[in-house]
Structure 1
Amino acid sequence: MKTPSSANAPFLRHLLTLTLCLVAAAIVWLPSAAAYALVPVRLFDLSYEVCPDELGRGVVDAGSSNAANCFIIHGKTENTSGKPVVNADIFGRIYDATHNTVFPNRNRIGAIDEIDPGLGEFSFQITVSANLPEPLQFEGFKASGFKGQVRR
């Protein structure tokens, strides 16, 4: 005759095996997940300049044949993570002189391949419609990247 505890033995064995597998998976997965967590990077001291002729000649607006202006945005980074940040996306808003959005429906406006720990510099190129009045204004700029290499 089986006792109530011996009837549950196979179930308890399976439960213990499942628990051990989940713990082992968590131990293996958690350190690698930290490498892929988004790391915020502060962007500041933003400015811009007109692209050199070799970059800006013949530029047109995306999806049209309208003339466009090419600009290079410069700024500084502050990476407080203590490790290099890679594949960082740049987010923010760019407005023209009349405070109209330059890129409606777009928050991601650029990328930085690698940001070293501490203070650094960055730049990226944008093209905007030629009929937008200057000066351009920048608001809410920030970057988010990864501590480990990420496949794209």
Structure 2
Amino acid sequence: MPLRLLVSSLRSLLAGLALIALLLSGPGVAPVFAANLSVRDVSLDPCPTGDIGAQPQLRRPSGASCFVLRGTVSNPGRKPVVDTDVFAQILDASGEPVLQNRSRVGSIGDVPPGDSSFALRLAVPAGTPGPFTFSNVKARGFSAPVRTRVGEFDDLLPLEQAVADEVQ
């Protein structure tokens, strides 16, 4: 019985210390909340032939084919959602997953309030039978940065840069 009392007292003490540490961390530390965003008007098309990612000289059975996942993400809030990732289940003609063991298809960065267009380049294994279908397309971001920040557009590839330029 005394051991249970000791363990209970120790748990209470640790919980109290954790609460004090949280309160003393100051107002500069804001909690980071995840935000689920809706995605619509999704399409999956081959990359334009002029796109660097298309790499026509590398098209062979052992390589990969370039595709672009485009859509519109909707942020219903009044503040931007940052470090946003897009998730989708993409299936080939036989119903097998195109991207093995993952549903995250890429990052679209910050999403301002309202509707925003996005485009993500995907490498699909060559020889994967089309047409492709997709489901469970969604986006998830945060109320504050969770990744190291870079300069504006520094982390965008040419395809994503073109989409960002169209939006502005």
What interval of TM-score do these two structures reach, taking the shorter chain for normalisation? 0.7 to 0.9
CA distance in 2, matches of 1:42, 1:20: 35
Structure 1 residue 134 displacement after superposition: 1.4
- TM-superposition CA deviations, 1:70-111 (whole Å, max 9, x none): 001100111112211111111120001221110121121111
The alpha-carbon distance between structure 1 residues 37 and 60, as it changes in their structure 2 partners (threshold 3 A), is farther
Match of 1:56 among 51, 54, 58: 54
CA RMSD of aligned residues (A): 2.7
- TM-superposition CA deviations, 1:30-81 (whole Å, max 9, x none): x600xx21111111111022112332114579xxx92211001100111112
Q: Secondary structure at the match of 1:55?
A: helix
Given the two structures, how large is their TM-score scaled by the length of structure 2?
A: 0.67
1:75 corresponds in structure 2 to 71
Number of aligned pairs? 130
CA distance in 1, matches of 2:18, 2:97: 53
Given the two structures, how large is their TM-score scaled by the length of structure 1?
A: 0.73
Match of 2:40 among 26, 44, 58: 44
Q: Secondary structure at the match of 2:23?
A: helix
The alpha-carbon distance between structure 1 residues 52 and 21, as it changes in their structure 2 partners (threshold 3 A), is same
1:95 corresponds in structure 2 to 91
Ranked by relative contact order (alpha carbons within 8 Å, sequence separation 6 or more), the top structure is: 1
Question: Structure 1: any 5+ residue segments left out of the alignment?
Answer: 1-17
* Identity over aligned pairs, percent: 31
Question: Which one-letter code corresponds to 1:142 in the other structure?
Answer: K
Contact 1:73/1:125, CA 8 A, preserved across alignment: yes
Contact 2:71/2:119, CA 8 A, preserved across alignment: yes
Contact 1:39/1:81, CA 8 A, preserved across alignment: no
Question: Structure 2: any 5+ residue segments left out of the alignment?
Answer: 1-16, 149-168
Question: Which one-letter code corresponds to 1:121 in the other structure?
Answer: S
More strand by share: 1
Structure 1 residue 118 displacement after superposition: 1.3
1:105 aligns with 2:105: no
CA distance in 2, matches of 1:84, 1:42: 14
